[in-house]
Structure 1
Amino acid sequence: MTNATLRKGAATVGGQPVTLVGPELKVGDQAPDFKLNKDLMTEVTLADYAGKIKLISVVPSVDTGTCDAQTRRFNVEADKLGDNVVVLTVSVDLPFAQARFCGAAGIDRVVTLSDYKTRGFGKAYGVLIDELQLDQRAIFLVDANNTIRYVEYLVEMKEHPNYEAALAALKELA
């Protein structure tokens, strides 16, 4: 990788250290813009969610147990949130796989977005696993002005995020 921050050993997969590409974002940072696929041809950016509070749930793949549980949990919670909040689940899965998963799992309140084309989201948000080209599990809460208000980078890929802490931070904002 050139011109990118490499954070060696910042995370683990099955207990084995891996390298995350990109900066470690902090509370108070401006959320980096992104370009993600909503479907094969439709791209969205941070501006598409202007004025909304954004809970960004990053998962390596919706086709794994922990990612499935994380996406389902936020789908249930999203139903309780106001219209000024959007829950985005980001992975490098193809949009076809995301749509299939959502249909089979009854996911209808979470917006799934794919980082498959350039891994640009992963690099900008510091979650791209260099060795696997998957995005490491993380949670970002971004306010209506695109300031990061909560961030959790999971160290081990298989671990669940702290749902209660993320939701408490979200309720304070909403």
Structure 2
Amino acid sequence: MVQVKFKQNPITLLGKEVKVGDLAPNFTVLANDLSSVTLQDSKGKTRLFSVVPSLDTGTCDAQTRKFNESAAELGDDVVILTISNDLPFAQKRWCAAAGIDAVQTLSDHRDLSFGEAYGVAIKELRLLARAVFVVDSNDKVTYVEYVSEATEHPDYEKAIEAVKAAQK
């Protein structure tokens, strides 16, 4: 079982822990235009799921910007999806202000579908815990990082290396 803290306080994660080698669980989240997005919408591509509590915080902002910068070196067969419980309207506004154009932001606020499927829904806060998942073009999970303290950064280099390895 994954142990995660938020501001040094233990939290309860809802859902099942995802592990390397698992088949990626399906989910339904909302795009900025309120359309539904599922795992199958990016089938055939390598996916990096960058999970953040809220884009309106410094660490989440930095994480999303970092993966946006990395997108160019990863090529067209990689999709980077940042998932939070922020409302789609707030995500769209944040992306415009931040100049984010290579990462797609998706909202799990409606059903916690992604959060529960990937074991990152924080029961006490109805936010998502910080995590990174890499899923290859065959829907196999090849990399998982549940960040043990939700206010800290993930290992960006390992995540990018995992994306590159999954493309081979």
* TM-score range relative to shorter protein: over 0.9
Q: Give the 5 Å matches for 1:154-165.
A: 154-165=147-158
Letter in 2 for 1:150: Y
| SS at structure 2 position matched to 1:24 | coil
Match of 1:17 in 2: 10
Structure 1 unpaired stretches of 5+ = 1-6
- Tell me how large the CA RMSD over aligned residues is: 1.1
Residue identity over aligned pairs, in percent, reads 55
Deviation at 1:172, TM superposition (A): 1.4
- CA offsets 1:22-60 (integer angstroms, 9 cap, x no match): 111100001100101002530011110010000000000
Whole-angstrom distance in 2 between the partners of 1:41 and 1:67: 22
Contact 2:15/2:119 (8 A) holds in 1: yes
Cα distance in 1 for partners of 2:159, 2:21 equals 15
- TM-score calculated relative to the size of structure 2: 0.97
Instruction: Give 1:48's match in structure 2, choosing from 30, 34, 41.
Output: 41
* Bigger shift: residues 66-75 or 17-26: 17-26
Q: Which residue is equivalent to 1:3? A: none
Structure with the higher strand share, 1 or 2? 1
2:73 counterpart letter in structure 1? K
Count of aligned pairs between the two proteins: 167
CA deviation after TM superposition for structure 1 residue 76, in Å:
0.2
**2:136 aligned with 1:138:** no
What is the aligned counterpart of 2:54 among 61, 69, 74?
A: 61
- Paired residues of 2:34 and 2:88 also in contact (CA < 8 A): no
TM-score by length of 1: 0.93
* 2:146 counterpart (141, 153, 168): 153
